Amino acid sequence: MPIYEYLCADCGTKFEKLVRRSADADTLVCPSCGQNHLQQEHSTFSARANGASKSADMPSCPSGGRCPTPGMCGMN
């Protein structure tokens, strides 16, 4: 079940919501103002193998360090 990020066009609140079925997305309302003028935002993805991440598996940044967000800076 995916977790989606939404932005309320009325009050600007950003929130995450677990959406079980696509029909459930049509009934979502903002938790702050109760309006349904929502825009789905791009979400980041994170995964771990065997419950832990290995920093040696992460790509290195051009700056010489290990990149905590590979692919996000456009340099990788």
Tens of pLDDT, residue by residue over 9-21, are 999 999 998 888 8
User: Which domains are present in the chain?
Assistant: 3-43 (2.20.28)
Cα–Cα distance for residue pair 46/68, rounded to 1 Å: 11
The answer, as to whether pTM is greater than 0.85, is no
- Coil, strand, or helix at residue 25? helix
Strand 14-18 and strand 38-41: the pairing is unpaired
**Do 49 and 62 meet the contact criterion of CB atoms below 8 Å apart?**
no
pLDDT digits (tens, 9 = 90+) for 9-53: 999 999 998 888 878 888 999 999 999 999 998 766 655 566 554
